[in-house]
Structure 1
Amino acid sequence: MANATWKNITAGVIEPVYLLLGIEQHIFDTTIERLKKAIPILDETSIVYFDLEETPIEIVLEEADTLPFLEDRKLIIARNASFLTAQDKGREKVVHNLEVFESWLANPSPTATVVFLAPYEKLDARKRITKLMQKQATVIEAKRLQGKDLTTWVQHEAKLNDSKISSENAMLLVEVAGDSLLSLATEIEKMATYLAGEGEITKEVIEMHVARTPEMDVFRLTDSYITGKVSDSVSIYHDLLRNGEEPIMLTSLISGQIRLMIHVQSLRSKGYQQQQIAKTLKVHPFRVKLLMENKKIPNETRLLKILDNLATIDYKLKSTSGKRERVLELFFMRGIRN
């Protein structure tokens, strides 16, 4: 939906009302930037911002119906349209006159484009105003992309930056940088600038330019350990220590990874699919996908034994005053057979 609407905006087909719904900030930012470029605005004063948690909707509508000064059209950005959600009325900071808003939606201003931002997972579909907004406004869903959709987006973004990347390396980039489109777009732009329009974003380029998050390094560390790669485990562990990570925190994160593996195995044995598992465990489907595709993960009994060993290590780390780094290092050096 976003790509089709973006094409229309670029072609100069500008709608009077947009509703941006979801938690992917990059889609919000991209839509607004495209509107700024497409609408011939000479002065920044013709771009007006409101926070609907602080300002009544009537003020926004009044601004929309006021003729722009020396411009054909003004752009209005109305953030935090929480009145479309199932929030408790007692928690509302301002009261919105939604009857006036409903009447306005039937005949919006011809000299303004109003963009309502709803940075929420979902709206309250039972509300009359929500139903009317979804009917009258041009809706763009800013949802987190998953699986093939996400890697396809990475490849498309690379192309927009005069570069290219294989699906395999697009998946690697997601593994390293995470699934935030904003972060991915930043990393792709950085690597494309380095390549200067020549060559391809390869594994080597990714490893050279993209900094791994501690969470992704812990994922690599846990994966190396449970697959029996002792030297890799120790090497990654030392890298994390050099970056200032603490053994107690690392033990906790590794234990979380092991618990996730146990839960994924358990739900998978009950017939749950990838998306169902991700939703049940409230983790990103990409993480579940990586675990489900890893054939070297031990069975549940072995994972529980590892978890028990980590609990013992956690106790030692919290009760010792010596070199804590060595306690966890010995765990990795003994390997999965310990």
Structure 2
Amino acid sequence: MVVSAAWKEIDKSPEQSIYLLTGTEQFLIQKTLSKIISRTPDIEQQDVMYFDLEEISVGQVIEEADTLPFFQDRKVIVAKNASFLKAKERGKEKIEHPLKQLEEWLQNPSPTATVIFTAPYEKLDSRKKITKMMTSKAIVIEANKLTGNDLTVWVQQHATTYGIGMDQKTAEYLIETAGENMMQLSKELEKMAAFLGDTDKVTKDVVDALVPRSPETEIFRLTDAYISGNRAKTLAVYHDLLRSGEEPIAMTSLIAGQVRLMLHVGTLKRKGYHQQQIASTLNVHPYRVKLVMNNRANPTEQRLLRALDRLATIDLKLKSTSGNRERVLELFFMNQQ
């Protein structure tokens, strides 16, 4: 069940026994947790019990759930990081969970507890018996990342909760500047609302004045300058990124990803796809596609493939050296081909 539909169900029936929140969008997970807690009668945030299943056995969660509450009619328990629902990673499991006990409990959960399992992972292992049983017995809520126009619409709608408004182009520009992390976007909207006061309209100038550029945005600028052969701009942006704490190996990987995006956009454009179709096919925000398509340098496919080849070489060099990686990457940018 997607979040928007799930929230309506929580409002209708606030005393469900088991929830399972999946997906990688932490903002939606936190908002859903808050909504479940706020809709549970006589429960305040401070009354909620939290367990980290990477440190504590699920058996303790079951024991707590089956213990009658003292001061309320119902208790709320949050069991975070239910990693036993995803594919097992060799050597990474700290706790042996009594999954047979959990399977039995799922058949007959406590009537006086709401237990919320969170599995903040991209994918669960649907082959596992425990995953099948959990998804059949719990209300499953998918907190997946919003992309494309869905994210733009969300930004515009979320802005209204702070008493401000913005048009589509400004919302897209905010995403391009701050990145696609919903938690960060929410913080930036709150900050702009405090700054604007009685003025309720967010403009591009307001975004420029208040919102720092995300590392992803700066990587786009760096890649664009590098591909265009603008050595001075490439080095200027590179040094800005170093000062903000970005690592050369991570930067190289992100630049390669941006070059691949340029290649994919170019290929789909030649096939006759328009901006929205390309964004949907590649599962990226339309504004990122727009920036690539509007690139005045218009790099050739051969230029992009050469860049990828050079980036693969420098990536290997960075990973195999124990010396000054910052200098290695700087020399790479200075010797553009």
Q: For this structure pair, what is the TM-score category when the shorter chain's length is used for normalisation?
A: 0.7 to 0.9
C-alpha contact (below 8 Å) 1:274/1:288 kept by paired residues: no
- Deviation of 1:213 after TM superposition, in Å, equals 2.5
Q: Residues of 1 paired with 2:215 and 2:5: CA distance?
A: 36
The verdict on how the C-alpha distance between 1:90 and 1:270 changes in structure 2, with shifts beyond 3 A counting, is farther
Could you tell me which residue of structure 1 aligns to residue 141 of structure 2? Answer: 140
**1:190-223 superposed Cα distances (whole Å, 9 cap, x missing partner):** 1112122532121111111100134312312443
Could you tell me which residue of structure 2 aligns to residue 186 of structure 1? Answer: 187
Question: Greater shift after overlay, 215-224 or 177-186?
Answer: 215-224
Could you tell me which residue of structure 2 aligns to residue 334 of structure 1? Answer: none
Match of 2:61, as an amino acid? V
What's the secondary structure of 1:115's corresponding residue?
strand
Could you tell me which residue of structure 2 aligns to residue 31 of structure 1? Answer: 32
Match of 2:216, as an amino acid? E
Could you tell me which residue of structure 2 aligns to residue 53 of structure 1? Answer: 54
Identity %: 39
Q: Residues of 1 paired with 2:313 and 2:101: CA distance?
A: 63
Could you tell me which residue of structure 2 aligns to residue 260 of structure 1? Answer: 260
Q: Residues of 2 paired with 1:262 and 1:197: CA distance?
A: 42
Could you tell me which residue of structure 2 aligns to residue 126 of structure 1? Answer: 127
- Deviation of 1:74 after TM superposition, in Å, equals 1.0
The verdict on how the C-alpha distance between 1:285 and 1:152 changes in structure 2, with shifts beyond 3 A counting, is closer
The verdict on how the C-alpha distance between 1:46 and 1:261 changes in structure 2, with shifts beyond 3 A counting, is closer
What's the secondary structure of 2:124's corresponding residue?
coil
Which sections of structure 1, spanning at least 5 residues, go unmatched?
Answer: 332-337
C-alpha contact (below 8 Å) 2:221/2:237 kept by paired residues: no
- Deviation of 1:34 after TM superposition, in Å, equals 1.9
Could you tell me which residue of structure 2 aligns to residue 217 of structure 1? Answer: 218
- Deviation of 1:157 after TM superposition, in Å, equals 1.0
The verdict on how the C-alpha distance between 1:255 and 1:5 changes in structure 2, with shifts beyond 3 A counting, is closer
Q: Residues of 1 paired with 2:100 and 2:333: CA distance?
A: 63
**1:150-201 superposed Cα distances (whole Å, 9 cap, x missing partner):** 1111111111111112121111111111111111111111111212253212
The verdict on how the C-alpha distance between 1:102 and 1:10 changes in structure 2, with shifts beyond 3 A counting, is same
Could you tell me which residue of structure 2 aligns to residue 293 of structure 1? Answer: 293
Mapping for residues 232-271 of structure 1, pairs under 5 Å: 238=236, 241=239, 245=243, 249=248, 252=252, 256=256, 259-261=259-261, 263-264=263-264, 268=268
Match of 1:47, as an amino acid? V
The verdict on how the C-alpha distance between 1:91 and 1:145 changes in structure 2, with shifts beyond 3 A counting, is same
**1:84-113 superposed Cα distances (whole Å, 9 cap, x missing partner):** 112157653333333332332233222111
The verdict on how the C-alpha distance between 1:88 and 1:55 changes in structure 2, with shifts beyond 3 A counting, is same
C-alpha contact (below 8 Å) 1:23/1:119 kept by paired residues: yes
Q: Residues of 1 paired with 2:314 and 2:57: CA distance?
A: 55
What's the secondary structure of 1:31's corresponding residue?
helix
Q: Residues of 1 paired with 2:254 and 2:73: CA distance?
A: 58
Could you tell me which residue of structure 1 aligns to residue 160 of structure 2? Answer: 159
- Deviation of 1:78 after TM superposition, in Å, equals 0.3
The structure with the largest alpha-carbon Rg is: 1
The verdict on how the C-alpha distance between 1:89 and 1:14 changes in structure 2, with shifts beyond 3 A counting, is farther
Which sections of structure 2, spanning at least 5 residues, go unmatched?
Answer: 318-322
- Deviation of 1:46 after TM superposition, in Å, equals 3.3
Could you tell me which residue of structure 1 aligns to residue 85 of structure 2? Answer: 84
What's the secondary structure of 1:78's corresponding residue?
strand
- Deviation of 1:145 after TM superposition, in Å, equals 1.0
Could you tell me which residue of structure 2 aligns to residue 335 of structure 1? Answer: none
**1:50-80 superposed Cα distances (whole Å, 9 cap, x missing partner):** 1222322222112111111111211100011
Could you tell me which residue of structure 1 aligns to residue 320 of structure 2? Answer: none
**1:8-28 superposed Cα distances (whole Å, 9 cap, x missing partner):** 435663322110101111111
Question: Greater shift after overlay, 201-210 or 57-66?
Answer: 57-66
1:7 aligns with 2:4: no
| RMSD between aligned residues | 4.1
- Deviation of 1:313 after TM superposition, in Å, equals 12
The verdict on how the C-alpha distance between 1:147 and 1:298 changes in structure 2, with shifts beyond 3 A counting, is same
Q: Residues of 1 paired with 2:301 and 2:90: CA distance?
A: 46
Q: Residues of 1 paired with 2:167 and 2:262: CA distance?
A: 32
Could you tell me which residue of structure 1 aligns to residue 202 of structure 2? Answer: 201
Match of 1:50, as an amino acid? F
Question: Greater shift after overlay, 269-278 or 82-91?
Answer: 269-278
Could you tell me which residue of structure 1 aligns to residue 99 of structure 2? Answer: 98
C-alpha contact (below 8 Å) 1:102/1:132 kept by paired residues: yes
What's the secondary structure of 2:73's corresponding residue?
coil
Name the count of aligned residue pairs. 319
C-alpha contact (below 8 Å) 2:265/2:289 kept by paired residues: no
